Amino acid sequence: MASLKSLATEVRACTICIEHLPAGPRPVIQVGRSAKILIAGQAPGRRVHESGVPFQDPSGDRLRDWLGVTPEEFYDPKRIAILPMGFCYPGTGKSGDLPPRPECAPAWREPLLKALPKVELTVVLGQYALAYHLPKRYKSLTAAVEDWESVWPAMLPLPHPSPRNQRWFRNNAWFETDVLPKLRRRVRRLLKA
């Protein structure tokens, strides 16, 4: 098996779906062999594509708040790995960004996950990551988040932290009061260990 460093270099040079990417390929990942937390997201947005820094947008601000981490902690690959389902910005559709490209996960996800042996908590963000990490288990993202304790503490399904999800946050106030405090405590313990 390739080393994580060489695998990450291959991923960052990937052009497997170049013809489908309106802004061109720019795979955005963050990986480190000692990472104990994995953020399994959707795909980079336009801002992240431009910067090359994962979650460097309002969704990232909310996610860091949910986790209770500083930007320095969040962007430390020795602590937190970030692997979206699609590594490149897929473009914009009628109601937001398009889904992650389907070529990405089959090509890269398993080798990358195998190269992250210390992960103890996988934070599953949104429906595409949910379909991969907890396939055929839930009829909706809300159902998965409501049943979070069944996969805790190894995994935690969450809604995407996008500002577009304001209605979901309003309709599910229990999420902030019941789930997030436990998530923050677990993250703190993992980062201190």
Give the pLDDT confidence of 33-71 residue by residue, as tens digits.
999 999 999 999 999 999 999 999 999 999 999 999 999
Kindly state whether residue 6 falls inside one of the protein's structural domains. Answer: no
pLDDT computed for residue 95 by the predictor: 80
Domain residue limits at 79? 24-192
What is the C-alpha radius of gyration for the chain, rounded to an integer number of angstroms?
16
Kindly state whether residue 156 falls inside one of the protein's structural domains. Answer: yes
Kindly state whether residue 162 falls inside one of the protein's structural domains. Answer: yes
pLDDT computed for residue 146 by the predictor: 96
Kindly state whether residue 18 falls inside one of the protein's structural domains. Answer: no
pLDDT computed for residue 1 by the predictor: 55
Which string of DSSP letters, residue by residue, matches the chain?
A: ---HHHHHHHHHT--TTGGG-TT------B--TT--EEEE-S---HHHHHH--TT-SHHHHHHHHHHT--HHHHT-TTTEEE--SSSS---EETTEEPPPPTTHHHHHHHHHHHT-TT--EEEEEHHHHHHHHSTTS-SSHHHHHHTGGGTTTTEEEE----GGGHHHHHHTTHIIIIIHHHHHHHHHHHHH-
CATH code, 182: 3.40.470.10
Kindly state whether residue 11 falls inside one of the protein's structural domains. Answer: no
pTM of the model: 0.95
pLDDT computed for residue 137 by the predictor: 81
Domain count, the chain: 1
Kindly state whether residue 4 falls inside one of the protein's structural domains. Answer: no
pLDDT computed for residue 124 by the predictor: 98
Kindly state whether residue 2 falls inside one of the protein's structural domains. Answer: no
**Averaged pLDDT in 10-residue chunks for the chain of 193 residues:** 89 95 96 98 94 95 98 98 97 90 96 97 96 90 96 97 93 96 98 90
Burial class (CB in 10 A: 0-12, 13-18, 19+), 68: middle
